[in-house]
Amino acid sequence: MDRSPGQSSRWLACSRALLGLIALGWELSCAAPIRASDASPRGHTFELEVGGGLYQLRDEGVAPLRWAGPAGQLGLRYVHAGRRARHQAGLRVPVAFLSNRYEHGGLGWEFGLGYQYLHRLGSARRAGPGGAFYLGAGYGFRLAVQELDWDVSHYQYLNAHELDAAVRWERPLGDHAIFVQASAALIALVGRPPAQRHYDETLAHYQFTESHENLVFTGPHEYPSITVELGYLIPLGRRWRLGTSYRLDSRNYFGERPIRILDQTLVLCVAYSPWMGAHR
Partner 1 sequence: MNRRMERPATAGALLAVLACSACLADNPLKLPVNMVPELVDGDWPVSSPEAEGMDEAAVRTAYERFFSENAYVTGLSLLVVRHGKLLAEGYTRSTDDRDVPRNIQSVTKGHTALLVGIALEHGHFEGLDQPLHDVVPEDFGPNAGATSAKLEITLGHLLTMRSGLAYPPDDFTQELHRDRTRGQMAHILRRPLATVPGEAFEYKDCDPQLLSGALRAATGMAMHDYAADVLWAPLGVRNVFWETNVDGDAWGAQALYLRPRDLAKIGQLLVSGGLWRGERIVDQAWINALIEPQHKAPPPPEGFEQAPGFGMMWWVAPERGGVYGRGTAGQYLAAYPELDLVIVQTAEPYADDIGGYFAGPGSGSFMDLANALVLAIGEP
Nearer to partner 1, 136 or 177 (CB): 177
Q: How far is the CB of 6 from partner 1 (least distance, A)?
A: 54
H or E segment and range at residue 26: helix 5-30
**Which of 61, 54, 251 shows the shortest CA–CA distance to 156?**
61
Please state, in angstroms and rounded to a whole number, the distance separating the CA atoms of residues 165 and 217. 17
Least separation in angstroms between residue 167's CB and partner 1 is 17
CB of 89 or CB of 184, closer to partner 1: 184
Residue of 110, 199, 108, 109 whose CA lies nearest to 152: 199
Q: Is 219 helix (H, G, I), strand (E, B) or coil?
A: coil
Taking the complex as a whole, how short is the minimal distance between the CB of residue 248 and partner 1, in angstroms? 6
CB of 58 to partner 1, least distance (A): 5
Contact 196, 157 (CB under 8 A): yes
CB atoms within 10 A of CB 15: 10
Burial of 218 (0-12, 13-18, 19+ CB in 10 A): middle
What does the alpha-carbon distance between residue 157 and residue 196 come to, in Å, rounded to a whole number? 8
Q: Do residues 116 and 88 touch, judged by C-beta distance below 8 A?
A: yes
The residue among 136 and 172 lying less far from partner 1, judged by its C-beta, is 172
Task: Find out whether 254 and 223 touch, Cβ atoms under 8 Å.
Answer: yes
Which CB atom, from 57 or from 190, has the smaller least distance to partner 1?
A: 57
Cα–Cα dist 13/7, whole Å: 10
CA gap 110, 60 in Å, rounded: 18
Within 10 angstroms of residue 258's Cβ, the number of other Cβ atoms is 15
Q: How far is the CB of 200 from partner 1 (least distance, A)?
A: 5
Looking at beta carbons only, is 115 or 232 nearer to partner 1? 232
Residues in contact with partner 1 by CB under 8 A are: 53-54, 56-58, 63-66, 68, 101-102, 104, 149-154, 173-174, 176, 178, 197, 199-201, 230, 232, 246, 248, 250, 260, 262, 264, 266
Minimum CB separation of residue 234 from partner 1 in Å reads 9
- Which of 43, 250 has the CB closer to partner 1? 250
| Closest CB to partner 1 among residues 151, 222 | 151
Smallest gap from Cβ 22 to partner 1, in A, equals 32
